[in-house]
Structure 1
Amino acid sequence: MGKTTYMKLKGSQNLRQRLVLSTLASTPIVIEDIRADETWPGLRPHEVSFLRLLEKISDDCVVKINETGTKLKYEPGIVNGGKHLVHDCGVSRSVGYFLEPLIVLGLFGKKPLSIRLKGITNDSKDPSVDTFRSTTLPILKHFGVPSEGLDLKIECRGAPPHGGGEVFLSVPTVRSSLTAVTWIDEGMVKRIRGVTFSTRVSAQFENTMIHAARGIFNRLLPDVHIFTDHKAGVQAGKSPGYGISLVAETTTGCFISADSAVSYARGDEEGEIEDEEKKELMPPVDVGEQIASILLGEIEQGGVVDSTHQGLLFILCALCPQDVSKVRVGKLSPYGIETLRNIRDFLGVKFVIKPDPSTGTVILKCVGCGLTNLSRKAS
C-alpha cells in the first residue's frame, strides 16, 4: 500500500461541501484549525452527525478526529446507498442541512438510497423539507435524474428546539452520468404554490399567514394556491412552531423558492434553551408578508434557481460529462462563490463567468469533470 496523500485545508467554513466533493473526487483531506480560536473549539454536533451519516452510506470511509475536535482526517470510501437506513440528525441543525449532500452522493451510489431522517424539519437556518420537495428535487430532473424513485415524504413535523420530526428520502442512482444542461431561460412566473405548517399552535395561524401572503401576490397573478399542513399529536413533534414555504413556477420549468419558520430559539452554542416566556414570536401575519416579499425579491434577481440553490446547481454542472453546461443565475451569493472555489480545488473544473448587464444576471459556463457512476451494479 502506498502512502495516502491528503489535501490540506484549514478552518470550518463549508465543511459539509468539502466532505461531499472529497467523497465524489475520492480525495482524502485533512482539515486543521477548526474553530481553534473560539470559546467552543472544534467540530459542532451537527458536523459530527454528518460524518457519522457519511460512514453509514459508504464503505471503507475513514474518519479521524483529534481530542479537541479541531483537526479532522477524512478518507472517502465508496458510496453504497442502501435501503431502510435511519439517521438521527440531532437538534443543532435541521434535516435540511443533511438533505442536499445526501441527494448528490446518493446519485453516485452503488444502490439506490432510502433513508429515514429524524430531527428538526423546519427552522429559520436551513431550507425546509417542503422546499426540498417542491424545488430541489425538480432541479435534478433537468440533469437527467429519473423521477422514478426520487421522493421525499414528510411523516412528522419537528420545530426547534426539541425537534421530533421525521422524513423519508429516496434517491435513485444515475445510470452512468448526469446530462449536461443549457438552462438560461428563466421564463415568466405562471403560478405560485406553497404550504404552511403549524405544530402545537392554533391551526388559525396558517390561515393568517396564507391571507397575508395572498394579499401581496393577488395584485400580481391570479394562480396562487397555498395549502395547509396542520399536524397534531405525535406528528406534531415536540415543540411549537409555524411557518410557510412558497415556490414560484415559471413557464420554462424553473422553481424559485423562499421559506421561513418561527419557533422558540435554540439558545446559545452550549445547547441552552432560551426561557420560552421571554421571547415573543413573530406574528403569523408578518411571517406571511415577509416571506412573500422575499420570494418576489428572489424572482426579481432573475436566474433559473434562487440564491439558496446556487451551490447545488454549480456542483451538478461540474459533475456532468465532458460537455458544456451553461446556466443563468441572479446575483452570485457568497455560498455560490465559495462553491465555485471548492469545485475548482476538488474537481479541477473552472467556470467562465459572464455578467449580463441587460438583465443584471450572470451566465456561467463550464465543461464537466465527467464523473461516472462506476460503483453502480450493471443491470
Structure 2
Amino acid sequence: MVAAPIHFTGNVDFRMRLVLATLSGRAIKIDRIRSDDLEPGLKDYEVSFLRLLEAVTNGSVIEISYTGTTVVYRPGLIVNGTITHNCPVSRAVGYFLEPILLLSPFGKAALNLTLKGVTSNGIDLGVDTIRAALFPVYQKFGIMRQELRVVKRGSLPLGGGEVSVFLPHVLLQPNTLHAAVKTPQVSKIRGTAYSTRVSPASVNRIIDAARGVLKVTGCETFIYSDVARGEESGKSPGFGVSLVAETKSGWCYTAEGAGSAGEAPEDVGERVARALLEEVAIGGMVGTTQVKHLVVLMVLGKEDLGRVLIGGGVIDEAFVRLLRDIKLMWGTEVRIKQHEDAEVDEDGEDGERPMEFVLTVKGVGFVNATKKIA
C-alpha cells in the first residue's frame, strides 16, 4: 500500500521541503500556495527549481494544479550527471544551487552543474558565500572536493552570469559530527568584492569601507577584488561584497550584500562588515546561513549521537519549522540544551557572552542506495 503524501500548506520553506522529501523518499503535497494573493500559485523561480530537481533525479513525478496553487511531488532517485540550467533573473543562482548541495552527495554519480543567471542579488546566497562558507561545513561531514567557478558575473536586473559547479564526492552516509566545545576564536577575515560594468574604483571603495569597520577585531583581513570586464561582466552594472570570518578549527561566519539603487559602494562595505560582526556575536560554531545544512547532514548520519554548539541567534521560526519537518519525514527529534558554560550575572541575566546551546542529533542511519547499487 502506497503511503499518502505528507501534507504542507503555503509556499514557505518550499525548496527545503522538496529536498527533505527527496532524501527521505516520502511523497509530499503542498497546497494553498499564495492562494490569497492577487497572483496566486507558483512563481517562475519555483517552477524553475522543480524543473532542476526533475533533471537531477530520475523517476520523480511532479503534478501542478491548473491554478498553480497545489503541487504533488513523488521523489525518484538522485542520479546527478551533467546539467545546464537557465535560472530566471527573479532569483540568484544561489537559490537553485543551495538546496542541490544537500542532494548531490547522495546521488549515483558526480554532479557537473552549470547555472546561468544572476550570480548575486543580496537576497539569496551569493556564489562567493556558497564557496567560502558552505563548502567548509560539508567538509566536516566528509564531503570533499567541491568546486565552484564563476565563469561570468551577472548583476540585477538582466543577469547574464554563469557559474560552473563540480560536486564529485558521492558517499554512502555523512560522518557523525562532534563539535560541542567552546566557541572558536576568529583568526582571520577573508572576502571578495566584485563589480560588473561599473568603475573599478567601486571595488576599492567597498574594501576600504569594510576594512574601516573590521579593524576593531584586530584580525588579519584580506578582501580580494574581482572586477569583471568584457564578456565576463554580464548584462547589467552592479557591485557587492562577500565576507567570511574564519576560525583555526575550520568553522566560519559569513555576511554579504549587493548594491541597491542609489547606494554608494562605501555604504555596502560598511553594511556588510557590520552584519559580519553581528554574525560572529551570535556565537556557536556556525552562522545563520549554514545551520540548516548542518542539521540536515547531522540527521542523515549514522545511528549515533552527534553534537554541535550553536548560538541562540540562529534559532528562529524557520529553524523550528525545519525541525518539525524533519520529524514528519523521519520521525526523529533534535534535542537543544543550554550550554553549561553560559555566563550569568548576579541578577540572573545572561552575561556578556552570547546565549549558546548544545544541539544533539541522533542520525537516522541514512544510506545512499543509488551508490550501493552502482
Q: TM-score, normalised by structure 2?
A: 0.93
Alignment of 1:203-242 (within 5 A): 203-242=200-239
Asked whether 1:162 is paired with 2:158, we answer yes
Unpaired segments of 5 or more residues in structure 1?
264-279
| 3-state DSSP of counterpart to 2:327 | helix
Alignment of 1:90-129 (within 5 A): 90-129=88-127
AA in 2 matched with 1:254? W
AA in 2 matched with 1:91? V
1:336 pairs with 319, 341, 350, which one? 319
Q: TM-score, normalised by structure 1?
A: 0.92
Asked whether 1:250 is paired with 2:220, we answer no
Percentage identity across aligned positions? 38
Q: Distance in 1 between matches of 2:155 and 2:333?
A: 39
Q: Deviations over 1:262-317 (max 9, x none)?
A: 14xxxxxxxxxxxxxxxx42111111111111101110110111112111111111
Q: Distance in 2 between matches of 1:3 and 1:335?
A: 30
**Contact map agreement 1:81 1:113 (CA 8 A) in 2:** yes
| 3-state DSSP of counterpart to 1:209 | helix
Alignment of 1:351-366 (within 5 A): 351-356=334-339, 357-358=342-343, 359-366=354-361
Asked whether 1:15 is paired with 2:10, we answer no
Q: Distance in 2 between matches of 1:347 and 1:31?
A: 18
Q: CA RMSD in A?
A: 1.4
Asked whether 1:175 is paired with 2:210, we answer no
Asked whether 1:320 is paired with 2:331, we answer no
Q: Deviations over 1:118-141 (max 9, x none)?
A: 111111111110000101011101
Q: Distance in 2 between matches of 1:161 and 1:343?
A: 36
Partner of residue 80, structure 1 = 79
Alignment of 1:136-151 (within 5 A): 136-145=134-143, 147-148=144-145, 150-151=146-147
**Contact map agreement 1:110 1:173 (CA 8 A) in 2:** no
Unpaired segments of 5 or more residues in structure 2?
344-353
**Contact map agreement 2:187 2:219 (CA 8 A) in 1:** no
Deviation at 1:377, TM superposition (A): 5.3
Q: Deviations over 1:144-187 (max 9, x none)?
A: 11x23x11111111111111111011113433110010113431
Q: Deviations over 1:227-278 (max 9, x none)?
A: 0000011111111110000000112211111000114xxxxxxxxxxxxxxx
**Contact map agreement 1:245 1:259 (CA 8 A) in 2:** yes
Structure 1 ranges of 4+ moved more than 4 A: none
Partner of residue 370, structure 2 = 375
Q: Distance in 1 between matches of 2:356 and 2:303?
A: 25
Q: Distance in 2 between matches of 1:233 and 1:377?
A: 46
Partner of residue 265, structure 2 = 284
